Amino acid sequence: MFHGKHQPGITTALQARGHLVAFDLAAGAGRKEAAALLRRWSATAQRLMAGEAAANGDTDVARDAGPSSLTVTFGFGHSFFARTGLEKQRPIALDPLPDFSSDHLDKARSNGDLWVQIGANDALVAFHALRAIQKDAGQAARVRWQMNGFNRSPGATSHPMTARNLMGQIDGTRNPKPSESDFDQRIFVPDAGDPSWMAGGSYAVVRRIRMLLDDWEKLSVKDQEDVIGRRKSDGAPLSGGTETTEMDLEKTDADGKLVVPINAHARITRPDENGGAAMLRRPFSFHDGFDADGVPDAGLLFVCWQADPLRGFVPVQRKLDRGDALSTFIRHEASGLFAVPGGAAKGEYVGQKLLEG
C-alpha cells in the first residue's frame, strides 16, 4: 500500500529484486520542477504498487504480473536543498557522513539530489517500476547512478529464515523488530521531530560494499566464523545456543581465550557495545560481473534505516573502522545519505510538506 504514515520499503520484508537509483535535478530545475516530479513519481508508484499500468506510455514489461510486493521509496540528498532554495529546511541529521579509513568511494556513484529505492519479488515488476520512474523524470532530472540487487526468493527455503549474504553468512539476526517497544523511536522521526516535514520519516544510509570473495573463500570455515563471531551453518553465536541466543562476550575456551574474538564483527556491531545505536538493515546483494582476472565484482548494497544517522550508523561504523576483522575482506566503494520523509496521505505526494510548506 502506497499511502500511510511511513513510506513503503522500510519495514517491508526483504524482496527478491531491488534497484537503487539516484537522480540529480537538471540545470535550471528548482523547487517547482521538483514538486511536479515528486507528484508524478508518487502517482506512478501508487498505480504500480496496486498492480496497475503506469499512466503514461506504460511499457507492458510487467503485463500479466501482479504487484509482486512492489515498493517504491523516495528520499532527498544533502544537495537537493541548495538546488531548490530550501536550505533552511535541510535537517541537521543530513549533514555529510564523516570520512572512514575503510572508504574507497567513487564520487560518481555516491550521493545525489534524489534517491529512489525499488523492491519487488519479481524481476520484471522491479524493472518495470525502475523504467517508469526513469521515464517520469523527463527533463527535470537525470540519473546520477543506478545499482541492481537481489535476495533469496520467497519460498526458496523449507521455512522462513534470516537471509544469507554472498559470504554465505546469515545476515540480519539482530535487526530491530517492529514488535519491540522502542522500534519506532529508533527507526522513525517522531511526530514532533525537527524539521516538521520529516515527521514519520527515516534516514537511509546507502553503501556499495564490495566483498573480496576470492580472499574470503580461502579461509577455513573456522576462520570465517572467528571473523564474524557466529557459526556459518545456523548463525548462532560462537558462545553457543541458537541464532537468537544472546552472545556471551566473556566466555572463554579451555585455553582461556575469548570464544568470540575481540575483533569479531558481531561483537563490535552489538547495540549494547555502541551506546544503544540501532539501525534497521535492509540490504540487497549484488553481482556486476568479473574483471579481466576473473575476480567477481560482488557484495552488498547496504541500506540501513534510523531516526538519526549520528546515533545509528555513524558510531557503529567508526568503531568498525578501528579494528573490525571483517574489514580485511570488504571495501566500501560508494556511499549516500538520504532524508526519507513520512508517507503520503491520500491525495498527497511524497515530500509535499517540504516542497509546498
pLDDT of residue 14: 96
Whether residue 183 lies inside any domain: the answer is yes
pLDDT of residue 41: 98
pLDDT of residue 193: 82
Tell me how many domains the chain contains.
1
Residues recorded for the chain = 357
Closest to 219 measured CA to CA, from 329, 322, 321: 329
Whether residue 54 lies inside any domain: the answer is yes
Whether residue 12 lies inside any domain: the answer is no
Whether residue 319 lies inside any domain: the answer is yes
Domain extent, residue 74, equals 17-92+99-355
| Residues with a known catalytic role | 171
Whether residue 28 lies inside any domain: the answer is yes
Residues of the chain with pLDDT below 50 are none
Query: What is the Cα–Cα distance from 200 to 101, expressed in whole angstroms?
Result: 33
pLDDT of residue 18: 98
pLDDT of residue 256: 94
pLDDT of residue 149: 98
Whether residue 260 lies inside any domain: the answer is yes
pLDDT of residue 274: 67
* Whether pTM exceeds 0.85: yes
Whether residue 10 lies inside any domain: the answer is no
What are the C-alpha distances in Å from 56 to residues 48, 53, 116, 273? 12, 9, 19, 51
Whether residue 4 lies inside any domain: the answer is no
